[in-house]
Amino acid sequence: MNWDWSVVEDFMPSFWDGVLVTLQALALGSLIAFALGLVWAMAQRSPRKWISWPVTAVTEFIRNTPLLVQLFFLFYVVPTFGPSMSPLVTGVIGLGLHYSTYTAEVYRAGIDGVPVGQWEAATALSLPRRRTWTSVILPQAIRRVIPALGNYVVAMLKDSPMIAVIGAFEMLGEARAFSNLTFTFEAYTVVGIAFILIAYPASLLLRALERRLAQ
């Protein structure tokens, strides 16, 4: 097949629209995943079983069901008995909710990795439970897990094309729509290169961050 630069030029407006949707879904989905994952992790450690058990059940259910099924449920089922959402909002919530169950496990591992002596020191100082968490435990735990959280950002980027099935056309969705009309392959190539240009530098940055935190 011959490479046709005119096809690429025609695709570029749609491509940049797709890039914008991809970055929005990635940024907002990551914020939801990071914040909600911390809530899940702390709730699972609650001494109150009526809190920890339901939260554990919910996170296990979400983590063990496909993201694609969850997106369909949020977009087509939830509006039948609740508010309807745009495809992009649904995609952001779906990505964030799905990956929050994975970041919860990362936070849990970080919290478990805090030395027992830190808990004992906080108890000896009679620090309130909230102060113990915010000033002693969480700063140490989060510092340990930042590289692992970053890996899930890259994973979320690679899963972002799934939101196209509900009408949120990110980069790959735009390429598919364009190629179906023009019967060309250039759009897929451009999108593949774009994913590499976003994901590979991010991976290098995460490795550098991990080495720096290990010092």
Residue whose tokens read 């695709």: 11
Are 21 and 169 spatial neighbours (Cβ–Cβ below 8 Å)? yes
Are 162 and 68 spatial neighbours (Cβ–Cβ below 8 Å)? yes
183: amino acid identity, one letter: F
Count of C-beta atoms within a 10 Å radius of residue 209: 13
Are 28 and 156 spatial neighbours (Cβ–Cβ below 8 Å)? no
Give the span between the Cα atoms of 69 and 73, in whole angstroms: 6
Q: Identify the pLDDT of residue 213.
A: 67
Q: Where are the alpha helices (DSSP H) in the chain?
A: 5-44, 49-63, 67-72, 87-112, 116-124, 129-131, 138-159, 171-182, 186-214
Tell me, yes or no, if the pTM score tops 0.75. yes
Give the span between the Cα atoms of 199 and 31, in whole angstroms: 18
Tally the residues of the chain. 215
Share of the chain above pLDDT 90, in %: 59
pLDDT tens, position by position, 42-101:
999 888 899 999 999 999 999 999 999 999 999 999 999 888 899 999 999 999 999 999
pLDDT tens, position by position, 98-125:
999 999 999 999 988 888 888 888 888 8
